[in-house]
C-alpha cells in the first residue's frame, strides 16, 4: 500500500484525491495547506488527516508519495523539501515557472534517489497514445509539420480568484498555465525544438502576463510547427494537436483522434467519436477527467516498483518549460530564440 500526501488543497488537489481513490494499493493519508481551514475541510470530505504544516506532513512515515498542488511558482520549493524527506513526487504542471527552479527540483530528486513525475495527463489520453504509436510505427512517414492549439476562455473572475493567478512570479500566462499541456505533447510527438519565434499579447484580461501566445517553431528533425495558446477565445474550444508527416496527417482534439488520413489509400476516419466541442476545461478549469491523472499516478507507482523512470520525468517537464520560456523571450525581444534541442 502506498500512502499519499497532498500539499495545497485547491482546485487540482480534488483531482489528485479522486485519482488516488481509484488506484488499488494507494491511499490518501494526509493533506496540508497554508490557507486557514482549507486542509481540514478537504480532509473531512475525504476521510484523511489534515496536517498543520508541510513539515508535519513530511514527517509522517505512512506517506510515500507527495502530490505538489500548490501555485506553480512554489512547485520546486515544496518539491525539494519533500524530496529531501525521501518522498516520491507527483508535481503538477508546469514543473515550476523558471528553468533554475526546475533544475533545483530535478537535482533534489536525483540526490535523494526519489522518483519525480511532472503531470502531463494528456499523454495518457487514448488519442495521444494512439498518435504516439502511429508515429513510432512510421505510419505518417517523415514528420513535416505540427500544430498545437489551446483556444480556451477564462473570465477575469478566474484570474481574480487567487492572488497568484496571472502573475509572472507564481503562474505565467496562458501558455505557461493552460497551453503547456499541448506544448509537452508537441515536444513528445515531434522531438526537440531548436528555434522559437513568437508574439504574445494581453488583450482581454487585467493581468500582467499574456492571455494569448503564438509561436513558430523549428524542430531538430527539420520539421516545423506552430503553438497557439489563449485564454481569451470565448467560449473556449477543444485543445488540438495536428501532426503531418510525408504519408499523412492525424488530428487530435481533447485527447481523441478526430481525423486521420495516411498511406497510399489515404481515407478519413472520424476516430473514436467526434470531439466534445466547447465542453470540459475549455471554459471551466475544474472540468477535467480523472482517468488520465489516475493513469499518470499509476505509472509513477509502477516506476517506483520497477526501479525505472516514469513516463513523464522531471526532464520532460523541464523540456516543456524551456519551450514556454523561449516563447516568452522571443516575444519580449522580437528575435528568434535558439534552444539546445537536446
Ligand atoms: N493538470 C491540470 O490539468 C491542472 C489543472 C489545474 C491546475 N493545475 C496546476 O495545479 C497547481 C495549483 O492550481 P490550482 O488551480 O489548484 O490552484 P488553487 O489556488 O486552487 O490551489 C492552490 C492551493 O495551494 C495552497 N498553497 C499555497 N501556497 C502553499 C504552500 N506553501 N503550502 C501549502 N499550500 C499552499 C493555497 O492556499 C491553495 O489552497 C498549479 O500549478 C496549476 O498549474 C493543473
> Is 49 a residue whose pLDDT tops 70?
yes
C-alpha cell at 26: 494507494
117 lines ligand 1 (CB under 6 A): no
Write out pLDDT tens, residues 155-168: 999 999 999 999 99
> Is 266 a residue whose pLDDT tops 70?
no
Which whole number is the average pLDDT over 215-232?
A: 98
- The DSSP bridge pattern shows strands 256-262 and 26-32 to be unpaired
> Is 274 a residue whose pLDDT tops 60?
no
- The DSSP bridge pattern shows strands 2-7 and 240-245 to be unpaired
C-alpha cell at 101: 527552479
pLDDT at 287: 74
175 lines ligand 1 (CB under 6 A): no
71 lines ligand 1 (CB under 6 A): yes
103: left (phi over 0), alpha (psi -120 to 50) or beta: alpha
171 alpha carbon – ligand 1 mean position (Å): 10
Write out the DSSP string of 155-175: -HHHHHTSTTTT-TTTT--HI
pLDDT at 340: 86
10 alpha carbon – ligand 1 mean position (Å): 5
12 alpha carbon – ligand 1 mean position (Å): 6
192 lines ligand 1 (CB under 6 A): no
Minimal-distance CA residue to ligand 1 atom 21: 10
- Chain mean position to CA 194: 21
pLDDT at 279: 61
pLDDT at 1: 83
User: Which residue is associated with the grid cell 475544474?
Assistant: 286
92 lines ligand 1 (CB under 6 A): yes
- The DSSP bridge pattern shows strands 240-245 and 248-253 to be antiparallel
Which atom, in ligand 1's list, is nearest to the CA of 72?
41
Whether the link from the prior residue into 94 is cis, omega within 30° of 0, is yes
203 alpha carbon – ligand 1 mean position (Å): 25
C-alpha cell at 22: 481509484
> Is 219 a residue whose pLDDT tops 90?
yes
User: Which residue is associated with the grid cell 505557461?
Assistant: 176
Strand order in the sheet with 212-219: 256-262, 248-253, 240-245, 143-151, 224-230, 212-219, 193-201, 337-338
User: pLDDT grade, residue 264 (50/70/90)?
Assistant: low
Minimal-distance CA residue to ligand 1 atom 25: 8
pLDDT at 34: 98
**Which residue from 197, 177, 119, 183 is spatially nearest to 147, judged by alpha carbons?**
183
194 alpha carbon – ligand 1 mean position (Å): 31
**Percent of all residues in the chain with a pLDDT value above 70, rounded to a whole number:** 95
Note every long-range contact of 161-170, with CB atoms under 8 Å and residues 24 or more positions apart, other chains counting: 162/10, 162/71, 164/71, 164/72, 164/73, 165/207, 166/205, 166/207, 166/208, 166/209, 167/73, 167/207, 167/208, 167/209, 168/97, 168/208, 168/209, 169/73, 169/97, 170/71, 170/72, 170/73, 170/74, 170/97
**Cβ(293)–Cβ(121) below 8 Å:** yes
232 alpha carbon – ligand 1 mean position (Å): 22
Q: Is the dihedral of CA 311, 315, 321, 323 positive or negative?
A: negative
Minimal-distance CA residue to ligand 1 atom 37: 35
The average confidence (pLDDT) of the chain is 94
Write out pLDDT tens, residues 277-290: 446 777 777 777 89
pLDDT at 281: 78
141 alpha carbon – ligand 1 mean position (Å): 40
246 lines ligand 1 (CB under 6 A): no
111 lines ligand 1 (CB under 6 A): no
**Which residue from 66, 54, 99 is spatially nearest to 326, judged by alpha carbons?**
99
Minimal-distance CA residue to ligand 1 atom 39: 10
Write out pLDDT tens, residues 99-117: 999 999 999 999 999 999 9
Write out pLDDT tens, residues 126-152: 999 999 999 999 999 999 999 999 999
pLDDT at 299: 97
Which whole number is the average pLDDT over 17-25?
A: 97
pLDDT at 271: 47
SS3 of the chain: helix, strand, coil, percent, to 5: 40, 25, 40
C-alpha cell at 123: 499523454
C-alpha cell at 262: 495516411
Amino acid at each position: 500500500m502506498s500512502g499519499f500526501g497532498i500539499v495545497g488543497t485547491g482546485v487540482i488537489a480534488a483531482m489528485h484525491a479522486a485519482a488516488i481513490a481509484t488506484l488499488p494499493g494507494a491511499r490518501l493519508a494526509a493533506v496540508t495547506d497554508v490557507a486557514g481551514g482549507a486542509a481540514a475541510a478537504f480532509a473531512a470530505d475525504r476521510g484523511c488527516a489534515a496536517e498543520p504544516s508541510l513539515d508535519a506532513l513530511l514527517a509522517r512515515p505512512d506517506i510515500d508519495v507527495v502530490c505538489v498542488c500548490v501555485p506553480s511558482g512554489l512547485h520546486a520549493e515544496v518539491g525539494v523539501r519533500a524530496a529531501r524527506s525521501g518522498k516520491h513526487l507527483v508535481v503538477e504542471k508546469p514543473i515550476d515557472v523558471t528553468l533554475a527552479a526546475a533544475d533545483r527540483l530535478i537535482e533534489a530528486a536525483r540526490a535523494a534517489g526519489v522518483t519525480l513525475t511532472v503531470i502531463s495527463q494528456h499523454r495518457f489520453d487514448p488519442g495521444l497514445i494512439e498518435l504516439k504509436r502511429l508515429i513510432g510505427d512510421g505510419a505518417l512517414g517523415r514528420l513535416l509539420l505540427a500544430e498545437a492549439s489551446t483556444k480556451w476562455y477564462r473570465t477575469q473572475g478566474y484570474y481574480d480568484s487567487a492572488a497568484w493567478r496571472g502573475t509572472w512570479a507564481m503562474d505565467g500566462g496562458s501558455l505557461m498555465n493552460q497551453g503547456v499541456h499541448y506544448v509537452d505533447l508537441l515536444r513528445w510527438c515531434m522531438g526537440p525544438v531548436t528555434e522559437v519565434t513568437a508574439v504574445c499579447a494581453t488583450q482581454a484580461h487585467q493581468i500582467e502576463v499574456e492571455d494569448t501566445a503564438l509561436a513558430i517553431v523549428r524542430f531538430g528533425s527539420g520539421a516545423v510547427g506552430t503553438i497557439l495558446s489563449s485564454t481569451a477565445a470565448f467560449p473556449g474550444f477543444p485543445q488540438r494537436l495536428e501532426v503531418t508527416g510525408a504519408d499523412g496527417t492525424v488530428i487530435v482534439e481533447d485527447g481523441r483522434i478526430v481525423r486521420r488520413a495516411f498511406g497510399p489509400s489515404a481515407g478519413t476516419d472520424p476516430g473514436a467519436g467526434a470531439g466534445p466541442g466547447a465542453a470540459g476545461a475549455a471554459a471551466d478549469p475544474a472540468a477535467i477527467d480523472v482517468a488520465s491523472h489516475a493513469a499518470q499516478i499509476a505509472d509513477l507507482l509502477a516506476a517506483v516498483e520497477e526501479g525505472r523512470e516514469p513516463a513523464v520525468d522531471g526532464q520532460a517537464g523541464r523540456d516543456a518549460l524551456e519551450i514556454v520560456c523561449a516563447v516568452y523571450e522571443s516575444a519580449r525581444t522580437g528575435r528568434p530564440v535558439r534552444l539546445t534541442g537536446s
